[in-house]
Structure 1
Amino acid sequence: MTTLVTGATGNTGRHAVAELVRRGERVRALTRDPAAAAGRLPAGVDLVAGTHTAPQHLGGALEGVDRLHVTVTAGLAEVGPELVRRAVAAGVRRITVLWGGWVGPVERAVAESGVEWTRLEPQEFMSNTLTWADSIRSEGVVREPYDFPSALVHEADIAAVAAAALLDEGHAGRAYNLTGPEPLTPSQRIAVLSRLAGRDIAFVRITHEQAVDRLMATGVARADAEYVVGWYAKPTADSTTVDDTVERVTGRPARTFPDWAAEHAERFRTP
Structure 2
Amino acid sequence: MTIVITAPTGNTGGRIAQQLIAAGEKVAVLVRDPARIADVIRQNATIYQGSVDDPAALTQATQNADALYLVVPYNFGTFHLRQWQRQVGAAAAAAIATNAIPHVVNLSSNGAHRPNGMGPISGLHAVEQSLNAVAANVVHLRPGFFMENYLLQLDAIRTTHQVFMPIAGDRRLAMIATQDIADVATKLLRDRAWSGQSVLGLHGATDLNFDEAAQILGQVLKQPVTHVQTTLDQFRDTLLQLGATEHVAGEYVEMWSGLAHPDYSPAEPRTPETTTPTTFVQFVQDKMMPLLAEPTTA
TM range (shorter): 0.7 to 0.9
CA distance in 1, matches of 2:42, 2:87: 32
Equivalent position of 1:201 in the other structure? 225
TM-score, length of structure 1 as denominator length: 0.86
- Identify unmatched segments of 5+ residues in structure 1: 248-252
The alpha carbon displacement at 1:214 in A equals 2.5
Q: 1:118–1:175: 8 Å Cα contact kept in structure 2? A: yes
3-state SS of the aligned residue for 1:3?
strand
Structure 1 counterpart of 2:233, which letter? E
Q: 1:81–1:105: 8 Å Cα contact kept in structure 2? A: no
Q: How does 1:53-132 map to 2 (within 5 A)?
A: 53-73=53-73, 74=75, 75-99=84-108, 101-102=121-122, 103-132=124-153
Whether 1:135 aligns to 2:166 is no
Percent of pairs identical after alignment? 24
Equivalent position of 2:79 in the other structure? none
CA distance in 1, matches of 2:126, 2:270: 28
Query: Comparing 253-262 with 214-223, which one deviates more in the overlay?
Result: 214-223
Residues 40 and 137 of structure 1, relative CA distance in 2, 3 Å threshold: farther
CA distance in 2, matches of 1:42, 1:260: 27
* CA RMSD after TM alignment: 2.6
Q: 1:183–1:241: 8 Å Cα contact kept in structure 2? A: no
- Identify unmatched segments of 5+ residues in structure 2: 76-83, 110-120
Q: 1:181–1:242: 8 Å Cα contact kept in structure 2? A: no
CA distance in 1, matches of 2:136, 2:99: 12
CA distance in 1, matches of 2:155, 2:59: 40
Whether 1:245 aligns to 2:273 is yes
Equivalent position of 1:166 in the other structure? 189
3-state SS of the aligned residue for 1:8?
coil
Identify which of 210, 222, 233 aligns with 2:260. Answer: 233
What count of residue pairs does the alignment treat as equivalent? 266
1:208-233 deviation digits (Å, cap 9, x = unpaired): 33233323433052431222221342
Whether 1:47 aligns to 2:43 is no
Whether 1:151 aligns to 2:169 is no
The alpha carbon displacement at 1:120 in A equals 0.7
3-state SS of the aligned residue for 2:131?
helix
